[in-house]
Structure 1
Amino acid sequence: MGRSPDLGAALPEHVRQMCADAIASAGIAMFVTGPRAQEMPIVWVNRAFERQTGFTSQDVVGRSPHVLESLLTDPVDAQQLRSAITEEREITQTLRLARRDGSLVWCQLSFAPVPDADGEVTHWVGAQIDVSELHGRYAAQVASLDVERRERALLDVVTQSSDLLVDLEQPFVLRDITELVTGVVVDWAGFYLNDDGLRYAEGIDASSPPTGRGRRHGRFSPGMVLPAPGSHETDALGDAARADDSSSGVPRPDVPDRVQDLLDGRIAGPVRLDLAAPYGQWSASGWLQRDIEHRLEVPGTTPTSLRVIAVPGRRCVLGLLVVALPDPTNAVGESALELLEVVARRVGAAVDNVRLYAREHRLAETLQRAMLPEQADVVGLDVWTYYAPNSEHAQVGGDWYDVLQIAPDVVGLVIGDVVGHDVEAAAAMGQLRSVVRSYAFELTTPGPVLERVDQLVQGMRIPRSASLVYGALIRPDADDPDDAWRIEYSRAGHLPPLLLRDGTVTQLDEAGGPLVGFGGRSRATGSAALRPGDTLVLYTDGLIERRDRALRVGLDALVAASSAVSAVDAAGVGEELLSRLADAPEDDVALVVVRIPDPVRDADVVALSPRSRRWLLPSEPASIGRARHAVVRTCQAWGVKDAANAELVVSELVANGVLHGWGHLALRLFDTGDGIRVEVEDANPAPPMPTDGHANRMGGFGMQIVERLADWGWRPTGTGKLVWAKVRPAPRSSED
């Protein structure tokens, strides 16, 4: 190794002395040690070193540098320093050092080897700068950034919670919100809704009352003093004490039930819940305490601090949000608590809204079902009806239809549409339906019927405009072989009925007039003769109306679809039209299909219509016979020769629905290729139960018959239950 020039030797003596004095007087703490071979004794320190460390030169000069190493508070720092010395390389690092008096300072230490002219390290020089103030600023900036980052995370939680609340039908929306805040804002969270008492909730039960008062838990300290309402936080424990009950001798807990006060709206909260407090057994606090302890049985998850936040509704507190804050005493904990209150308020508003909507939906649907027509079975006619409110409008609308046996030889057909999709539209529809029914039975002839309807509606001041078609089907004279069915009709602002005959479609567009209630003059009556095989189609505009096309274009599409119908039963005609035109309706759809059977030609026609049928039946005994007739007609249209088993299964399922179900019954038939599948839906959620029957007890054998003839089962639906049966093919006889 080459010799390094001795720069110091080239300096004059007075210059070297001036440099030495300058280093000794410098404001930067400096020290020099001997070589590593001599265990690096400290040979010199300056006055700044003495001021910074509290050690004088007499305390450290001549001693091992271990005295300096002992000042390092972090063992990792000491290890890094030893490694640099071993490798004889310079090191600069920020360390936390302890002064002689025990106080701590942050220093930036630079420690470098000093070689001689031969390159051998004979000394080490160290310089350390007090950076405590800079480090404090840096730590404050880091803490501030951490707080800001956490607050941004909290705001993001609120935003994501709001996004989750958009889909209120999601069954675990409340659980998803708690999972969102857990780990980011709190250590644990859970929602409790006060539906007939507190219950842990992962989703929103829309069937509960919107702002119904939940069951009140027991209260064990009626004379307690409550804090002032509006306080941000109230200690739910207070001064725990026990008092002897003189009547029973049993100690009685006297801990305030602040959770019940929160549920009652007597305090604003949040309140603290102590898992070790002796709350009353039947108090809300006690019930909540036990439930949370059960849910936090996993070791290491017991929270140090629980907060209970009210979930407010419009009129009362709907439930609680219980959270375990990691550190509720600092500013971050307080801001987390405030944002959690925002989340709880939004959840409360969402719960209230979904329950209000569900209540309006149930009210409107009940009203709609109560006013559904009771379709009469007419001898000599094949009648099929259908109604489907637009699902976007709370399952209620103003469309209606009627099939009335007005006289032995007269059948009334009514289809109408009230503007709107709400309860008011349904109420107006109910009024009009009653008026039309009354005058139809009184006058029969369509024109005069609508004239009287106009007069009464003008006086009733019904707030919604409406259109309708009233037709009277007149039965042929049994004594006149040349006589045929005839329809007389009159239209009040409604689309024309269609007459389907041998692939040709005729619009019955005569006898038109203004909307109901606007007829200032006499109404005309149109007529058309019918013959076997003809089909009448009455419909509302929801079948053909679309936002992206004119109504005339939709009517042309209906005419084209009707001309291609191949079914030979009314239900099949309706199913074909629905499959081609109503896959995504934008309005309520009502449809009435009336067909005059042609026994001679129908037997030879191969129908290509959809292999499914549906009917809506009133919950009355007459529906059993109507369902059996529907099955027989459908099996004939499908070419199913042996329909006896399907007829019997449908009879038993519909009878069971009439006897035990609620509301109207929905009957569906499907041709699966290897048998007939039957579905009957009603509003009673209770499952069907086959019994053994008893000689002295009526009934009990219906489902046994179904079990012998079919494979069957059931499943819950959103409004009740659906019972299904797959009818087994009848065994072939030996003659076959």
Structure 2
Amino acid sequence: MEDEDVESESVRGAASPPELPGGLAAAACVVDDCGVIIAVNAHAERLLRITAADVIGRDAHDLLHRDGHGQPLARARCRVEEAVLARRTQTGRGWFEQGGGSLAELSWSIIPCAGSTDSGADTLMIFHDQGTGLATPEGAAGAGATLSELERLALLAETTTQLTSTLDSDEALRRLVQLVVPRLADWVVVDLITEADEVERVIVVHYEDDALIFREDLQGPMPPVPAESPMPLSRALRGAASTLVTPATYQGPPDSGIAMEQRRLFEATGMHSAAIAPIRGVRDVLGALTLGRSKRPDAMTPADLSLVEDITRRTGLALDNARLYQRQRKVAETMQRHLLPQLPSIPGLQMTARYVPSPDASQVGGDWYDVFTLADGTTALAIGDVVGHDLDAAAGMAQVRSILRAYAWTHRDLPSAIVHRLDESAMHIAGVSMATLVFGILEQTDDGAWHLAWTNAGHPPPLLVTHDGQARYLTEGHGLLLSTGLSAKRTDTRIVLPPQSTLVLYTDGLVESRDHSIDDGLERLRKHAASLVHRPLAAFTDLLLERARPVRNNDDDIAILTLRTPAAHAPQAPQPGAS
């Protein structure tokens, strides 16, 4: 039997197999219009740990496609199956079962092609191992390996998919690194221009021994971009054309600090050939990408430079979108933080509040709290959530809070009556489509006891924890949420807060996630609050956030307000000599 490496581009196991593209240094299968495998190459056999004889004639979906737990993936949820049947060029990432039952997360590309079957509807499936680049034989990424036109198109398609599916600039750059090494180079350098118009070398990565090695010693701030320098990196950072460079480019007297840093880079990395291309956004130059080769003996070519330019164009759009999104998030978060109030000082009463923005840049907006003193000396407190996660929700939150303050100050009334007025006006004045709220009035009586009267408009119930660790939810006074357009009767509930008790008001991000029911979240919050009740109030609040908040699949922001009543005053002992 001939050595499989020698016949790596051959297709075996079919009487009249269709031909895979010559020089294809990637794991590839061909499926017919029904999704049945009709050919595989040796790279696919190695990556998927299969043999052609075992898989040809079998359904590719049933054989390979799995979910993240290794279970068969429903056809209706399979993007690969959808692309194959629709004969649509598409890329993505998913889980596939290898021979022996092991599971691998792979990038894939679907490319319709002219078939050799009677139907003429064959489809090429290319698989990539994201951790090691293309699934090539040992050494294929070295000695003169180049990408075929088909592989270049697949790389550009995958670059578009990978970079446009995130709005985090750091994540986009991480994906960029994994896309280009070792396919194009064994060194990746990214220089970015900051909003302060300074240059930062944010990434220097070397691919060696099937691993990415980050050279932090070569990263950091860079000298300013000279206005007239003809050197390649300076020109790229000004948005000029891309350039092929070698160490000889920097052998002459340096004309700027950036040129000196480039000489140091080439000396430290041993790159013998590199391509430098500008990363352009819609309006500005965002930075430059350098792809270099040190262990690979072949030099970068004009064809490689053209491909790098296509990649940097996609990178620029991704970074531009990420920066714009981060800027919007920062505006929304700053706006919301400035709208949230400073807590007043209430003698004898401890108070702490926290606001935690969503981890998702798109989720900023409607959670809020408020505490303020009324004209009669009582204290109003509120926690609420305006439906939505954007600037509109943040603006609606501010208006709802202002309306509530105005009604509470001008109408000395029960909480339910004040919330009823708010409900009638919120949709018309604030334009809020839906919101939840707990509103209460706290009052200290002559005997030193703290009385709380409250009403609840569709919000998660407050949690009361006594000093001895008994915790219960205040589920009384619960009514319909705001801005439904329905007329609902609202009720009030009144309790006396025990001495040294802690009241927790919170929004649903503290107890809800897509992985668990709200009942599970409420029980988790209750247990942690009871265990932490002897902590100082600030530490209690921070630890409660840390321990009770769902850590997975929680894309909501959180507001939390905690209050603690003082210890009961013991009767004063009579003074000696007192009559």
> Structure 1, residues 433-455: CA drift from partner, whole Å, max 9, x if none?
22212222222431222122123
Q: Distance in 2 between matches of 1:331 and 1:573?
A: 61
Tell me the equivalent position of 1:584.
551
Tell me the equivalent position of 1:427.
395
Q: Distance in 2 between matches of 1:188 and 1:509?
A: 60
**Structure 2 counterpart of 1:340, from 274, 298, 308:** 308
Query: How much does 1:429 deviate?
Result: 1.5
Tell me the equivalent position of 1:516.
482
What does 1:667-682 align with in structure 2 at a 5 Å threshold? none
Q: Distance in 1 between matches of 2:471 and 2:175?
A: 55
Tell me the equivalent position of 2:147.
151
Q: Say if 1:456 and 1:320 are closer, same or farther in 2 by CA, change over 3 A.
A: same
Query: How much does 1:160 deviate?
Result: 9.5
**Structure 1 counterpart of 2:374, from 400, 406, 427:** 406
Give, as a single letter, the amino acid of the residue that structure 2 aligns with 1:452: R
Tell me the equivalent position of 1:528.
495
Is the CA contact 1:474–1:487 (under 8 Å) kept in the aligned structure 2? yes
Q: Say if 1:451 and 1:189 are closer, same or farther in 2 by CA, change over 3 A.
A: closer
Query: How much does 1:593 deviate?
Result: 2.4
> Structure 1, residues 301-326: CA drift from partner, whole Å, max 9, x if none?
676xx754332222333233456799
Q: Distance in 2 between matches of 1:472 and 1:593?
A: 15
Please provide the CA RMSD for this pair. Answer: 4.8
Tell me the equivalent position of 2:34.
none
> Structure 1, residues 109-148: CA drift from partner, whole Å, max 9, x if none?
xxxxxxxxxxxxxxxxxxxxxxxxxxxxxxxxxxxx9999
Give, as a single letter, the amino acid of the residue that structure 2 aligns with 1:367: M
Is the CA contact 1:189–1:323 (under 8 Å) kept in the aligned structure 2? yes
Tell me the equivalent position of 1:484.
449
Tell me the equivalent position of 2:319.
351
Q: Distance in 2 between matches of 1:200 and 1:592?
A: 40
Q: Say if 1:559 and 1:344 are closer, same or farther in 2 by CA, change over 3 A.
A: closer
What does 1:634-673 align with in structure 2 at a 5 Å threshold? none
Is the CA contact 2:352–2:538 (under 8 Å) kept in the aligned structure 1? yes
Q: Distance in 2 between matches of 1:373 and 1:543?
A: 20
Query: How much does 1:404 deviate?
Result: 1.4
Tell me the equivalent position of 2:329.
361
Query: How much does 1:157 deviate?
Result: 7.8
Give, as a single letter, the amino acid of the residue that structure 2 aligns with 1:584: V
Give, as a single letter, the amino acid of the residue that structure 2 aligns with 1:414: A
SS at structure 2 position matched to 1:495: coil
Q: Say if 1:396 and 1:511 are closer, same or farther in 2 by CA, change over 3 A.
A: same
Give, as a single letter, the amino acid of the residue that structure 2 aligns with 1:514: L
Give, as a single letter, the amino acid of the residue that structure 1 aligns with 2:379: V
TM-score, scaled to structure 1: 0.45
Q: Say if 1:332 and 1:469 are closer, same or farther in 2 by CA, change over 3 A.
A: closer
Is the CA contact 2:172–2:319 (under 8 Å) kept in the aligned structure 1? no
Q: Distance in 2 between matches of 1:549 and 1:174?
A: 30
Q: Distance in 2 between matches of 1:294 and 1:442?
A: 70
Count of aligned pairs between the two proteins: 397
Q: Distance in 1 between matches of 2:551 and 2:417?
A: 37
Is the CA contact 2:426–2:432 (under 8 Å) kept in the aligned structure 1? no
Q: Say if 1:394 and 1:599 are closer, same or farther in 2 by CA, change over 3 A.
A: farther
* Larger RCO (CA under 8 A, 6+ residues apart): 2
**Structure 1 counterpart of 2:242, from 264, 270, 282:** 270
Tell me the equivalent position of 1:28.
none
Of stretches 487-496 and 168-177 in structure 1, the one that deviates more from structure 2 is 168-177
Query: How much does 1:476 deviate?
Result: 0.5
Tell me the equivalent position of 1:121.
none
Tell me the equivalent position of 1:129.
none
**Structure 1 counterpart of 2:513, from 539, 546, 549:** 546
Is the CA contact 2:224–2:257 (under 8 Å) kept in the aligned structure 1? no
Q: Say if 1:337 and 1:272 are closer, same or farther in 2 by CA, change over 3 A.
A: closer
Is the CA contact 2:348–2:566 (under 8 Å) kept in the aligned structure 1? yes
Give, as a single letter, the amino acid of the residue that structure 2 aligns with 1:346: R
Query: How much does 1:370 deviate?
Result: 0.9
Q: Say if 1:180 and 1:476 are closer, same or farther in 2 by CA, change over 3 A.
A: same
> Structure 1, residues 227-255: CA drift from partner, whole Å, max 9, x if none?
xxxxxxxxx8xxxxxxxxxxxxxxxxxxx
Tell me the equivalent position of 2:202.
202
Tell me the equivalent position of 2:181.
180
SS at structure 1 position matched to 2:403: helix
Is the CA contact 1:499–1:537 (under 8 Å) kept in the aligned structure 2? yes
Query: How much does 1:399 deviate?
Result: 1.4
Query: How much does 1:511 deviate?
Result: 3.2
Give, as a single letter, the amino acid of the residue that structure 2 aligns with 1:490: T
Q: Say if 1:280 and 1:372 are closer, same or farther in 2 by CA, change over 3 A.
A: farther
SS at structure 2 position matched to 1:379: coil
Largest Rg, 1 or 2:
1
Q: Say if 1:288 and 1:581 are closer, same or farther in 2 by CA, change over 3 A.
A: closer
**Structure 2 counterpart of 1:456, from 420, 425, 432:** 425
Query: How much does 1:403 deviate?
Result: 1.8
SS at structure 1 position matched to 2:341: coil
Q: Say if 1:296 and 1:495 are closer, same or farther in 2 by CA, change over 3 A.
A: closer
Unaligned residue ranges in structure 1 (runs of 5+)? 1-144, 205-213, 221-235, 237-256, 602-736
Q: Distance in 2 between matches of 1:300 and 1:537?
A: 60
Is the CA contact 2:436–2:481 (under 8 Å) kept in the aligned structure 1? yes
Query: How much does 1:578 deviate?
Result: 4.2
Q: Distance in 2 between matches of 1:498 and 1:429?
A: 23
2:340 is the counterpart of 1:372: yes
Is the CA contact 2:443–2:450 (under 8 Å) kept in the aligned structure 1? yes
Query: How much does 1:415 deviate?
Result: 0.6
Give, as a single letter, the amino acid of the residue that structure 1 aligns with 2:321: N
Q: Say if 1:170 and 1:466 are closer, same or farther in 2 by CA, change over 3 A.
A: closer
Give, as a single letter, the amino acid of the residue that structure 1 aligns with 2:463: L
Tell me the equivalent position of 1:474.
443
Q: Distance in 2 between matches of 1:363 and 1:565?
A: 35
Query: How much does 1:467 deviate?
Result: 0.3
Query: How much does 1:410 deviate?
Result: 0.3
Q: Distance in 1 between matches of 2:346 and 2:171?
A: 46
Tell me the equivalent position of 2:79.
none
Tell me the equivalent position of 2:565.
596
Q: Distance in 1 between matches of 2:493 and 2:236?
A: 70
Is the CA contact 1:178–1:189 (under 8 Å) kept in the aligned structure 2? no
Is the CA contact 2:456–2:478 (under 8 Å) kept in the aligned structure 1? yes
Is the CA contact 1:393–1:422 (under 8 Å) kept in the aligned structure 2? no
> Structure 1, residues 40-89: CA drift from partner, whole Å, max 9, x if none?
xxxxxxxxxxxxxxxxxxxxxxxxxxxxxxxxxxxxxxxxxxxxxxxxxx
| Seq. identity, % | 30
Q: Distance in 2 between matches of 1:340 and 1:590?
A: 46
Is the CA contact 1:457–1:517 (under 8 Å) kept in the aligned structure 2? yes
Is the CA contact 1:471–1:489 (under 8 Å) kept in the aligned structure 2? yes
Q: Distance in 1 between matches of 2:279 and 2:565?
A: 61
Query: How much does 1:379 deviate?
Result: 0.7
Q: Distance in 2 between matches of 1:474 and 1:191?
A: 60
Q: Distance in 2 between matches of 1:459 and 1:506?
A: 36
TM-score, scaled to structure 2: 0.55
> Structure 1, residues 501-549: CA drift from partner, whole Å, max 9, x if none?
4555554334333222336356433222334344333222222223344
Q: Distance in 2 between matches of 1:576 and 1:175?
A: 37
**Structure 1 counterpart of 2:281, from 287, 305, 313:** 313
Q: Say if 1:301 and 1:280 are closer, same or farther in 2 by CA, change over 3 A.
A: closer
SS at structure 2 position matched to 1:151: coil
2:458 is the counterpart of 1:493: yes
Is the CA contact 1:197–1:216 (under 8 Å) kept in the aligned structure 2? no
Is the CA contact 1:178–1:190 (under 8 Å) kept in the aligned structure 2? no
Query: How much does 1:385 deviate?
Result: 2.5
> Structure 1, residues 143-190: CA drift from partner, whole Å, max 9, x if none?
xx9999421598598799889967853798599579936xx7569775
SS at structure 2 position matched to 1:352: helix
Q: Distance in 1 between matches of 2:307 and 2:377?
A: 73
SS at structure 1 position matched to 2:385: strand
